[in-house]
């Protein structure tokens, strides 16, 4: 399974079936037994038994849109599923529903806009999707309210070790969990692929109630604001400086002694790393850490520019560094002394 294959799958929050089925098939062909809970989370064990039990988790869902109505003209009105800036939506190509009906996101053209309108970005309810039909009836033949809408954006390497894709948040994490489960690491690992993270950590809220682990590693693609006009002290992460290790976010504060052990292992193995240097955003750690009697968590991520857009950009070296760091860290845990 390649990261490319995972990123190009459709999987807007609540509609993760294709991603889940693909992951399931991959794991089953590697001889792993998979269970799926009532929310749609996929749980898998690496089959090893040990005193220390590790959880590794990533969410399968990505941000996207949903059809909320159809105008008499046949144009489609939509709402967001997960956090999306409406300013990035215009002129994007999308596909709608199970039949992958192609469409483009449009708005009132500039020469029709009043002077005041030109000064303000369009809000979501001023945008529409055009699927090339001429009437409500015609649109209704292929699209109905409630249909999920996915961005179309092929995975594309470019520039200096960079990759552009949709859904890097969080197929990066899914890729890592798959790898860690399939590797022969000498420690009991449960992999949890969650649903609906982008809607408020909903899948993990349920999955966390079914997990008894000593530590959960929450794997992510995370925000990166390393661009010119952002002041140095406001940059959360920077591309090319290695995997980002969280100290605190909106949903968790991470135990410093565990964070320090992770960074020590990175240094010992000469793997570049960086702190995730801001406290906004949240992830599934917020649920795993605070469910039942509580489970310590660590969060590791590959930085992604333009996250929550069809053109997220990562640096392959950060991605490779993350994979290596997770592998050596888990090997160190299995030797004892970390937990």
Partner 1 sequence: MDKLDVKTLDTLLSTFGPSGNEDRVREFIKSEIKDHVDELHVDALGNLIARKKGNGKKIMLAGHMDQIGLMITYIDKEGFLRFTNIGGISPTISLSQRVVFQNGTVGVIGSEHLESVKDLKLDKMFIDIGANSREEAEKIVSIGDVCGYYDAPVIDDHKVVSPSLDDRIGCYIMMETIKNLKDSPNDLYFVFTVQEELGLRGARTAAYRVEPDIGIAYDVTMTGDTPKARTMALKMGEGFAIKAKDNSMISHPGLKNYLVQEAKNQNINYQIEVLEFGGTDSGAIHLSKEGVPSSVLSIPTRYIHSTCEMVSTKDVIGAINYSTNLLTTDFNF
Which is nearest to 287 in space by CA: 194, 189, 188, 222?
194
Nearer residue to partner 1 within complex by CB, 188 or 249: 249
Two tokens at 159? 């520039």
The CA distances from residue 40 to 101, 203, 235, 257, 325, in Å, are 25, 8, 35, 34, 29
Instruction: Report the C-alpha gap between 80 and 69 in whole angstroms.
Output: 13
x/- track of binding to partner 1 for residues 208-247 (CB under 8 A):
------------------------xxxx-----------x
SS3 per-residue string spanning 75-119: CEEEEEECCCCHHHCCCCEEEECCCCEEEEEECCCHHHCCHHHHC
Residues 278-337 that bind partner 1 (CB under 8 A): 278-279, 289-296
Q: Pick the binder of partner 1 from 37, 39, 275, 316 (CB under 8 A).
A: 275
CB 232, min distance to partner 1, A = 7
Q: Pick the binder of partner 1 from 152, 248, 311, 328 (CB under 8 A).
A: 248
CB 288, min distance to partner 1, A = 11
Q: How many residues bind partner 1 (CB under 8 A)?
A: 23
Q: Pick the binder of partner 1 from 90, 199, 258, 259 (CB under 8 A).
A: 259
Sign, CA torsion 123/114/129/135 = positive
Q: Residue 130 CB: number of other CB atoms within 10 A?
A: 14
Q: Pick the binder of partner 1 from 24, 68, 77, 277 (CB under 8 A).
A: 277
Nearer residue to partner 1 within complex by CB, 72 or 229: 229
Which is nearest to 34 in space by CA: 182, 205, 141, 183?
182
**Span from 79-87, 91-99, 175-183, 270-278 in contact with partner 1 (CB under 8 A):** 270-278
Burial of 67 (0-12, 13-18, 19+ CB in 10 A): buried
CB 63, min distance to partner 1, A = 24
Nearer residue to partner 1 within complex by CB, 33 or 292: 292
Nearer residue to partner 1 within complex by CB, 123 or 253: 253
CB 296, min distance to partner 1, A = 6
Q: Which residues contact 114 (CB under 8 A, 6 or more apart)?
A: none
Nearer residue to partner 1 within complex by CB, 153 or 223: 223
CB 294, min distance to partner 1, A = 4
Among residues 16, 62, 188, 197, which one is catalytic? 197
Task: Supply the DSSP symbol for 289.
Answer: T
CB 80, min distance to partner 1, A = 25
CB 131, min distance to partner 1, A = 43
Instruction: Report the C-alpha gap between 7 and 58 in whole angstroms.
Output: 14
Nearer residue to partner 1 within complex by CB, 149 or 266: 266
Instruction: Report the C-alpha gap between 185 and 334 in whole angstroms.
Output: 8
**Span from 65-73, 102-110, 222-230, 275-283 in contact with partner 1 (CB under 8 A):** 275-283
Q: 53-59 and 64-70: which strand pairing? A: unpaired
Active site residue 197: yes
The CA distances from residue 77 to 66, 108, 176, 209, in Å, are 9, 13, 36, 37
**Does 170 sit behind a cis peptide bond, omega within 30 degrees of 0 on the bond before it?**
yes
Applying CB under 8 A, which residues contact partner 1? Answer: 232-235, 247-248, 253-256, 259, 275, 277-279, 289-296
Q: Which of the residues are catalytic?
A: 197
């Amino acid at each position: 399974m390649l990261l490319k294959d995972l990123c190009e799958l459709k999987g807007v929050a609540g509609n993760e079936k294709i991603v889940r089925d693909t992951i399931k098939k991959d794991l089953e062909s590697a001889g792993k037994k998979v269970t799926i809970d009532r929310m749609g989370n996929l749980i898998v064990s690496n089959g090893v038994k040990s005193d220390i039990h590790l959880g590794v988790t990533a969410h399968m869902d990505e941000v996207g849109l949903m059809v909320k109505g159809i105008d008499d003209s046949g144009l489609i009105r939509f709402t967001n599923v997960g956090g999306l800036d409406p300013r990035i939506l215009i002129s994007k190509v999308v596909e709608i529903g199970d039949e992958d009906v192609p469409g483009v996101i449009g708005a009132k053209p500039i020469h029709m806009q009043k002077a005041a309108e030109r000064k303000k970005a369009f809000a979501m309810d001023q945008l529409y999707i055009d699927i090339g039909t001429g009437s409500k009836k015609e649109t209704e033949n292929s699209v109905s309210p409630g249909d999920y809408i996915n961005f179309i954006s092929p995975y594309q390497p470019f520039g200096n070790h960079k990759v552009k894709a949709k859904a890097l948040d969080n197929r990066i994490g899914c890729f890592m969990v798959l790898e860690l489960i399939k590797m022969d690491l000498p420690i009991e690992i449960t992999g949890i692929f969650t649903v609906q993270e982008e809607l408020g950590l909903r899948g993990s809220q349920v999955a966390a109630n079914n997990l008894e682990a000593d530590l959960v590693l929450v794997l992510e693609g995370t925000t990166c604001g390393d661009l010119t006009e952002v002041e140095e002290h406001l940059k959360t992460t920077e591309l090319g400086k290695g995997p980002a290790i969280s100290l605190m976010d909106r949903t968790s504060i991470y135990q410093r002694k565990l964070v320090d052990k992770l960074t020590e292992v990175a240094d010992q193995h000469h793997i570049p790393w960086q702190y995730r240097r801001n406290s906004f955003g949240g992830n599934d750690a917020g649920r795993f850490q605070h469910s039942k009697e509580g489970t310590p968590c660590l969060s590791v991520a590959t930085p992604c520019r333009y996250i929550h857009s069809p053109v997220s950009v990562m640096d392959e070296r950060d991605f490779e560094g993350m994979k290596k760091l997770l592998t050596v860290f888990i090997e160190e845990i299995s030797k004892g002394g970390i937990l």
